[in-house]
Structure 1
């Protein structure tokens, strides 16, 4: 069910929510958090709503979508409520503010009456986020704040901004996309022989923030020299080589979908390593609401990696 409420107010919206709750019974029961999505009024708004709805299937929640409309317009609030099959496992409230109601302060003010009582708040900016998310009026309401450096015009500069502005509760989908890579590399190190890693080479697309974060993660965890090299053949991450005296561990994703893991004394393995959908990354972040200290350490280690050309004869 989709209910449109043009030129409305938060008071009228709350009354409508109560009315729908009485009609549908358990619409607002069992919600574990409030998920706030902040976006501009564009063609990508509906896509962001759908990603949030899909992520909510693993974490039933109230989704509040704040759409910033035209600034040079008369003050007006258009709202929409989605419940039932149109909202997945959540209830979706879309608030589209125009004129003065499109400001960050107004968005936060409209959000407060809609928050579930005594439930965590997670905020997500599908596009370009505030310079300091934790100081944004909406960001101050949230205990967890999700950004995505990969969607910005200069992704690597965005990572530098994330490092400078980091506050407990911040995370980025460029980091979440690395979960499978990190798990495979960690499990490979648990296999014999147990030689120490002497150096690391991480190869990937020139403007891939995930490649930089994987390199800095390895630098922070292993305390060895890490070189970040660049290829243009595939999008995002390409390969990781962990050098040691008994022979290297190599994880290579040549086609952007399937990874090949090789290491001495072990049979080669083919693993699924396709780019993770946004909905899967969001579901993972909604599952973890505590501080991600390893992400913070990896941001701080970005300055420790060196950059250069890929080694001669490297697999592509």
Structure 2
């Protein structure tokens, strides 16, 4: 069931949602509210990711777009209930002066007694928890890789980090960190030097180098590689190198001293996969925070 509302209000939207759920006869069962702040250029990609993640986390998904016009304050909305969606989908378009009051529009639409998560897929505020919509959330997700300047975005947000903040650049490293942690636990060898090879200006590589610096207590060299994303990580020990080297989009070569080289799965993950992982938790990520603070300290001039 799809309902279009023009020049409407949050109260009318809430009433339409209730009527829609009665009409399609679906039970609630929604576990969270996902607020997405995006623009028209990325709307379809973001909407697809939200719908895919909702299969694992039935949600009320509210997509907020700010329409850059000189119209009077106006709210237009589109509502989908049923239609193969395990939850509700609400698209809000804020016009004119209403663009400065997104929190007031969204607040009445949040599910009660359940977490609220805000996701900025591309550009995002520097101080997420102080942002009007960000202040509504238990957890706030950004993606520095989608910013015009990924490195600057990491540094700015690290300077205003609050519990509940995270970034999909960090989520992209889950498998890399698991492989490297397993290698370090397996060898128990002191690391004497380390390097991360990646595409230039790669935000995940910056976080990976920061995480390794914190864990190993040494400077991690950054080098540019020929492939997209993180290409290779090498941790040197007195008995040889621990290395993980990507050879294509799904496979890497993994080696530790004294063991034969072997292939391991290291698939490049889709946006729905990344979002689904992040929606599994609502608590603070202390390891991510430590990595971001290292990024702060290592940046020119700090944060």
Q: Decide which of 61, 85, 88 is 1:91's aligned counterpart.
A: 88
The reply to whether residue 110 of structure 1 matches residue 109 of structure 2 is no
Mapped to 1, the partners of 2:232 and 2:249 lie a distance apart of: 10
The residue that corresponds to 1:119 in the other structure is 114
SS at match of 1:266: coil
TM-score (norm 1): 0.90
Mapped to 1, the partners of 2:41 and 2:159 lie a distance apart of: 31
The residue that corresponds to 2:50 in the other structure is 52
The reply to whether residue 152 of structure 1 matches residue 147 of structure 2 is yes
SS at match of 1:96: strand
Deviation at 1:264, TM superposition (A): 2.0
Q: Is the CA contact 2:17–2:81 (under 8 Å) kept in the aligned structure 1?
A: no
The reply to whether residue 277 of structure 1 matches residue 274 of structure 2 is no
Deviation at 1:11, TM superposition (A): 1.7
The reply to whether residue 140 of structure 1 matches residue 161 of structure 2 is no
1:86-105 superposed Cα distances (whole Å, 9 cap, x missing partner):
52x221111111111222xx
RMSD between superposed Cα atoms in Å: 1.8
Mapped to 2, the partners of 1:53 and 1:45 lie a distance apart of: 12
Mapped to 1, the partners of 2:145 and 2:283 lie a distance apart of: 23
Q: Is the CA contact 1:198–1:225 (under 8 Å) kept in the aligned structure 2?
A: no
SS at match of 1:37: strand
Deviation at 1:292, TM superposition (A): 0.2
The residue that corresponds to 1:166 in the other structure is 161
The residue that corresponds to 1:78 in the other structure is 76
Matches within 5 A, 1:1-316: 1-27=1-27, 29-40=28-39, 42-87=40-85, 89-103=86-100, 106-191=101-186, 193-231=187-225, 233-302=226-295
1:124-169 superposed Cα distances (whole Å, 9 cap, x missing partner):
0112101211100000000100111111111111111121111111
TM-score (norm 2): 0.94
- For structure 1, the 5+ residue unaligned runs are 307-316
Mapped to 2, the partners of 1:67 and 1:76 lie a distance apart of: 12
Mapped to 1, the partners of 2:241 and 2:254 lie a distance apart of: 11
Deviation at 1:269, TM superposition (A): 2.0
SS at match of 1:78: strand
1:45-78 superposed Cα distances (whole Å, 9 cap, x missing partner):
1221111111111111111111111241222211
**How many corresponding residue pairs?**
300
Q: Is the CA contact 2:242–2:257 (under 8 Å) kept in the aligned structure 1?
A: yes
